[in-house]
Amino acid sequence: MSLLLLCSLLFLGSAILTGLFRWAAQRVRLVAVPVSRSAHSTPVPVGGGVSIVALILLVIAYCYFTDQIPANEFAALMAAIMIAIIGIVDDVKQLDVRWRIPAQFLASAFVVYCLGDVPAIDFGLFIFSESILLNVLGVFALVWLLNLYNFMDGIDGIAATELIVVNLVSLIIVINNDSVLTLLSASFAAATGGFLLWNWAPAKIFMGDVGSSFIGFTLGVMALLSLHHGSMTVWTWVLLLGVFIVDTTLTLFVRYRGKQRWHEGHASHAYQNAARHYKSHAKVTITVILINLFWLGPLAWLSMQYPKMGLVIAAIGLIPLLLLAKRFGAGHENFSF
């Protein structure tokens, strides 16, 4: 099957599945009811990301049974099923963190076990190759990334468009040297495009924890795969996900330093403050798209051309985002300009 045909089928299938799920969610009252920190004012069906989950898992299974993905990589990717199940339970009935976090660490440790020792990281002046510490960092990075993506799914369209742009840039980088990442990146972009038809502002359905946590986790697995394949570097991924990484990390740091309940739900991310200030989800989402396309994307590509300069290029890309996140009060409740 050609890549273009596969993407066309995924786009169409996702649009149809999301619409059907929205219809079903409305009838069983699987909706997000607005609370004080919500970015919406009316109940909206939640869990629409299940369409992306189902289609991506089908692609992964297809690749395995057609011998395009080896058994250990297939097993690592399929660990996302556990994350998706946890997400579904969380969407239906909020799951206690005492169950959620250990399960996330278990799935992440399984991924690292399946793929083997995390490859060394080139810091330019030195190469860090301590395998035990790298493996531990790999597990923590997967847990952080899946939660990070969940934190950033707070306004219409932002998580979906981020996923599309990240995977399109990834596709450009790996299309000639990594067939597995090429297929996964193209599939994610296409399937998410169909979902976005329903999720663009004003959203008719939300992705839910089932979608955002699955996506964050699978992106982490893809990043590890690319390191093992030598097709991308850790700094490339840091740049591709720069907006989400900077906003979430700074927000939690500020809340923790301010002795706030940083582990509980809130609406103090920079992107949330910006959406309230401009009274528009679409404006903020479009701005993130432009940052990804015209700032982070080119720098991510550059980091692959000059891997020894990866850390420096990543710093150049993220420092302006850090200043922007501070400008929009990341971590501060009821921030005003």
Per-residue model confidence (pLDDT) at position 37: 62
Tens of pLDDT, residue by residue over 106-151, are 999 999 999 999 999 999 989 999 999 999 999 999 999 999 999 9
Residue of 217, 225, 299 lying closest to 49 (CA atoms): 217
In this prediction, residue 218 carries a pLDDT of 97
Task: Note whether residue 273 is domain-resident.
Answer: yes
Q: What is the spatial distance between Cα 112 and Cα 289, in angstroms, rounded to a whole number?
A: 31
Supply the pLDDT for residue 259. 77
Number of compact structural domains in the chain: 1
CA distance 199 to 182: 25
Note whether residue 144 is domain-resident.
yes
Question: Which amino acid type is present at position 193?
Answer: G
Mean of pLDDT over the chain? 93
Residue 215 lies in a domain: yes
Q: What is the pLDDT of residues 195-232, one digit of tens each?
A: 999 999 999 999 999 999 999 999 999 999 999 999 99
Query: Do the beta carbons of residue 173 and residue 232 sit within 8 Å?
Result: yes
36 is a domain residue: no
Spatial separation of the C-alpha atoms in residues 217 and 29, rounded to whole Å: 27
Convert the pLDDT of each residue in 143-174 to its tens digit: 999 999 999 998 999 999 999 999 999 999 99
225 inside domain: yes
Average pLDDT over residues 73-97: 91
pLDDT over threshold 90, residue 28? no
Domain hosting 322: range is 3-29+45-327
Tell me whether residue 38 is in a domain.
no
Residue 70 belongs to some domain of the structure: yes
Q: Is 39 exposed, middle or buried (0-12, 13-18, 19+ CB in 10 A)?
A: middle
Query: Does some domain include residue 35?
Result: no
The answer to whether 208 and 94 have CB atoms below 8 angstroms apart is: no
